[in-house]
């Protein structure tokens, strides 16, 4: 069967679209061996579990994670007999869709029943693919499955994206929670979606149908592992009248560039998926129709993704306590996992979708200003002015043109680089100017970002370390657009005047102060252009570490000249983890810069009394931006102080 890959239309198409080098394309079939290598035989014989798929009567793939070791039943196990023959005996449960499919007459009666699997050892991330036909199968009423497999395709795979975990056999009592094996899947239960949200390990079964061959239609199957950070598979629903369709979206994480699973989908859309929840033993099984989306089509569904697979769920089962395995260790995610990418619709809900007005704009760094040891402002000139953005919004910068060195399969020294897209988002800490005629913000060709070094982070350190070279060599980076959502301003378009809440509480942590820097400058700009338009009273509670509190100098630059109807009071709370004397001199320096009628600084953490004692709390709109810990504590305190949800506005720096 390995010769099938010489003319596999789907694989060849994707390899071409994704620029797999021709030498690799030409040699791929040689990596697939029709005889089981001894190394694979030893590997399979030692496995306690085996993801295996077959087709049901309708030709739909179903994949299950068979458990091939039992403390109760010594007959359970994998025996490699030689001659590409392997016996598998596994205890499943009566509801298992793989076992149910085995009991049906095969779709193409008379032809061999197909199977595919991927042996995986989670303890050491080894995996080997296997496929062929099932010579003999039986399933008893308890779900005990006996199979004789004849394999004719064997391929070793890399350890990328596999979560390390130790598992031991156990015995659970399976309960069927949701079942559309026979009918059509509609609204999936929330518990099934929660399994998808938590999963860092998924198995994908695909089917390859080659038409017009001299031998007529030829079919074979494939199963492979898909892994990522929990939540890497996104889920969404579409409603048409009463009908609800569920879709699963799996972004393609850079692999060996063979595109075997995705290539199969190009020839036959039917796929199966299994999501085992190793913590609870619940298992979610899916069969559906898949399509691969590339480039703009992928980007339209999931921004910053060049290739993904979308599966329309047509059949699904949630079986609780289905997995006769228990987790006997913690789980260790793969260092190759890229961050979870969200769907465009999810980003839209968060106000995080870039505007498309800045497609071919470049940004050139012109100057920098250090605010603390680890925080700097970077000032960029844009090749084309961007339309006005309400202060508090963000810009998206793409450094791939400068830094991307192309494909690498593995990178032990820096695994994150394998899927790195060199795109980052930063709040625009500068504010646009006010147009004196319209009294609204006008377009601008200068933007600033204020960036804190992230320990171990890539782009924040590239910026901090190489700013001088960027400036000296006029190195442009691509400016991909802007996005808004978090701002204290409203109006400003369609002839509507800019307005502000009369009273606000701003809660900022560390570099989370950047949107407030832009908002503050915007308020002063507006007040300068139109004093009658602006009347606002702001309390800023700021929590910062060591000399990071120096970012507050930004609010002192207008010291003594505040407009008539604008008031600002800042309570800065400093936590000290470095040198006490630097911390003290930073506080003293700030006190010298900003009047004590505006700024109070104390060395301690923020507590509920700091919020409680804010005057007129019940009348203030509350804006928050900072690290998750501070945000969550603030939310809890605000709830305790009965500040309604509708008055709370929150920005997060997590994409």
Ligand X SMILES: Cc1cc2nc3c(=O)[nH]c(=O)nc-3n(C[C@H](O)[C@H](O)[C@H](O)COP(=O)(O)OP(=O)(O)OC[C@H]3O[C@@H](n4cnc5c(N)ncnc54)[C@H](O)[C@@H]3O)c2cc1C
Residue placing its CB nearer to ligand X in the complex, 355 or 461: 461
The pair of structure tokens assigned to 180 is 């559309």
In the complex, what is the shortest distance from the CB of residue 381 to ligand X, in angstroms, rounded to a whole number? 19
The pair of structure tokens assigned to 539 is 């309390």
355 binds ligand X (CB under 6 A): no
* DSSP labels, 502-525: SEEEEEEEGGGGHHHHHHHHHHHH
503-509 and 476-483 as β-strands: parallel, antiparallel, unpaired? unpaired
Residue placing its CB nearer to ligand X in the complex, 59 or 339: 339
In the complex, what is the shortest distance from the CB of residue 393 to ligand X, in angstroms, rounded to a whole number? 8
650 binds ligand X (CB under 6 A): no
394 binds ligand X (CB under 6 A): yes
In the complex, what is the shortest distance from the CB of residue 384 to ligand X, in angstroms, rounded to a whole number? 22
Contact call for residues 649 and 504 (beta carbons, < 8 A):
no
Torsion region of 381: left, alpha or beta (phi above 0 gives left; psi -120 to 50 gives alpha): beta
545 binds ligand X (CB under 6 A): no
- Measured from the Cβ of residue 339, the count of other Cβ atoms closer than 10 Å reads 14
The contact pattern for ligand X, residues 449-478, with x = CB under 6 A and - = no contact, is xxxx-x--xxxxx-----------------
- Taking CA atoms, 333 is separated from 161, 201, 229, 338, 413, in Å, by 7, 10, 7, 11, 16
Contact call for residues 599 and 570 (beta carbons, < 8 A):
yes
Contact call for residues 204 and 265 (beta carbons, < 8 A):
no
The pair of structure tokens assigned to 481 is 């657009």
Q: Which of 51, 315, 338, 626 binds ligand X (CB under 6 A)?
A: 338
Q: Which of 225, 424, 503, 620 binds ligand X (CB under 6 A)?
A: 424
In the complex, what is the shortest distance from the CB of residue 629 to ligand X, in angstroms, rounded to a whole number? 16
In the complex, what is the shortest distance from the CB of residue 311 to ligand X, in angstroms, rounded to a whole number? 23
In the complex, what is the shortest distance from the CB of residue 421 to ligand X, in angstroms, rounded to a whole number? 4
Residue placing its CB nearer to ligand X in the complex, 259 or 426: 426
Residue placing its CB nearer to ligand X in the complex, 224 or 460: 460
92 binds ligand X (CB under 6 A): no
Give the span between the Cα atoms of 508 and 450, in whole angstroms. 14
Q: Which of 49, 232, 426, 542 binds ligand X (CB under 6 A)?
A: 426
419 binds ligand X (CB under 6 A): yes
113-121 and 49-55 as β-strands: parallel, antiparallel, unpaired? antiparallel
- Measured from the Cβ of residue 459, the count of other Cβ atoms closer than 10 Å reads 19
Q: Which parts of 128-187 interact with ligand X (CB under 6 A)?
A: none
> Which residue's entry shows tokens 């039992």?
70
Q: Which parts of 502-521 interact with ligand X (CB under 6 A)?
A: 511, 514
How many H-runs (helices) and E-runs (strands) does the chain carry?
14, 29
Residue placing its CB nearer to ligand X in the complex, 133 or 372: 372
Stretch that binds ligand X, among 28-36, 39-47, 360-368, 423-431 (CB under 6 A): 423-431
Q: Which of 309, 374, 427, 550 binds ligand X (CB under 6 A)?
A: 427
Stretch that binds ligand X, among 147-155, 251-259, 417-425, 471-479 (CB under 6 A): 417-425
Give the residue among 603, 650, 601, 599 at the shortest CA–CA distance from 627: 650
In the complex, what is the shortest distance from the CB of residue 486 to ligand X, in angstroms, rounded to a whole number? 8
Q: Which of 425, 443, 444, 575 binds ligand X (CB under 6 A)?
A: 425
503-509 and 621-625 as β-strands: parallel, antiparallel, unpaired? parallel
In the complex, what is the shortest distance from the CB of residue 579 to ligand X, in angstroms, rounded to a whole number? 22
Ramachandran angles phi, psi of 477, nearest 5°: -115, 160
The pair of structure tokens assigned to 267 is 């020839």
Residue placing its CB nearer to ligand X in the complex, 320 or 424: 424
The pair of structure tokens assigned to 197 is 């949200």
Provide the binding-site residues for ligand X, judged by CB under 6 A. Answer: 338-339, 394, 416, 419-421, 424-427, 449-452, 454, 457-461, 511, 514, 653, 655
């Amino acid at each position: 069967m390995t010769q099938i890959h010489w003319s596999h239309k789907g694989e060849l198409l994707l390899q071409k679209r994704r620029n797999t080098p021709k030498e690799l394309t030409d040699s791929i079939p040689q990596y697939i061996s029709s005889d089981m290598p001894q190394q694979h035989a030893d590997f399979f014989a030692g496995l306690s579990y085996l993801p295996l798929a077959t087709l049901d009567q309708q030709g739909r793939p179903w994949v299950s994670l068979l458990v091939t070791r039992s403390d109760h039943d010594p007959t359970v196990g994998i025996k490699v007999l030689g001659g590409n023959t392997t016996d598998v005996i596994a205890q499943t449960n009566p509801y298992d869709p793989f076992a149910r499919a085995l009991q049906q007459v095969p779709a193409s009666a008379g032809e061999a029943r197909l199977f595919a699997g991927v042996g995986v050892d989670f303890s050491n991330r080894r995996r080997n693919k296997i496929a062929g036909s099932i010579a003999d199968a039986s399933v008893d009423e308890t779900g005990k499955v006996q199979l004789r497999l004849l394999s004719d395709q064997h391929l070793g795979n890399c350890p990328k994206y596999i979560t390390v975990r130790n598992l031991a056999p156990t015995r659970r009592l399976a309960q069927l929670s949701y079942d559309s094996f026979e009918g059509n899947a509609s609204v999936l239960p929330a518990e099934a979606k929660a399994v998808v949200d938590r999963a860092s390990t998924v198995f994908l079964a695909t089917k390859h149908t080659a038409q017009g061959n001299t031998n007529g239609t030829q079919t074979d199957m494939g199963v492979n592992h898909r892994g990522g950070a929990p939540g890497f598979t996104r889920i969404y629903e579409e409603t048409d009248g009463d009908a609800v369709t569920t879709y699963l979206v799996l972004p393609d994480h850079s692999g060996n560039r063979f595109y075997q699973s995705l290539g199969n989908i190009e020839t036959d859309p039917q796929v199966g998926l299994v999501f085992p929840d190793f913590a609870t033993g619940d298992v979610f099984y899916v069969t559906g129709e898949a399509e691969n989306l590339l480039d703009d089509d992928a980007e339209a569904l999931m921004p910053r993704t060049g290739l993904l697979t979308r599966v329309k769920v047509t059949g699904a089962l949630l079986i609780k306590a289905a997995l006769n395995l228990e987790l006997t260790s913690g789980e260790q995610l793969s260092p190759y996992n890229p961050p979870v990418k969200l769907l465009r619709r999810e980003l839209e809900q968060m106000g995080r979708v870039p505007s498309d007005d800045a497609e071919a704009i470049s940004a050139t760094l012109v100057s920098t200003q250090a605010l603390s040891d680890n925080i700097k402002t970077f000032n960029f000139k844009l090749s084309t002015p961007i339309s006005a953005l309400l202060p508090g919004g963000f810009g998206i910068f793409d450094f791939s043109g400068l830094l991307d060195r192309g494909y690498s399969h593995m990178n032990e020294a820096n695994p994150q680089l394998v899927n790195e897209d060199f795109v980052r988002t930063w709040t625009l800490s500068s504010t646009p100017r006010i147009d004196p005629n319209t009294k609204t913000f006008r377009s601008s060709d200068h933007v600033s970002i204020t960036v804190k070094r992230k320990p171990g982070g890539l782009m924040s350190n590239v910026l901090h370390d190489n700013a001088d070279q960027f400036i000296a060599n006029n190195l442009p980076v691509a400016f991909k657009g802007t996005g808004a959502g978090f701002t204290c301003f409203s109006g400003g378009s369609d002839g509507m005047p800019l307005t502000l809440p009369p009273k606000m509480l701003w809660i900022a942590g560390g570099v989370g102060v950047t949107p407030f820097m832009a908002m503050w400058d915007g308020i002063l700009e507006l007040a300068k252009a139109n004093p009658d338009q602006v009347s606002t009273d702001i309390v800023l509670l700021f929590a910062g570490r060591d000399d990071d509190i120096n970012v507050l100098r930004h609010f002192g630059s207008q010291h003594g000249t505040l407009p008539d109807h604008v008031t600002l009071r800042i309570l800065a709370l400093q936590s000290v983890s470095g040198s006490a004397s630097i911390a003290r001199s930073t506080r003293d320096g700030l006190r010298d810069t900003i009047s004590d009628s505006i700024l109070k600084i104390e060395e301690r953490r923020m507590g509920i009394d700091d919020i409680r004692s804010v005057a007129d709390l019940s009348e203030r709109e509350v804006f928050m931006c900072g690290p998750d810990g501070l945000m969550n504590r603030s939310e809890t305190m605000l709830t305790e102080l009965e500040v309604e949800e509708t008055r709370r506005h929150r920005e997060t720096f997590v994409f």
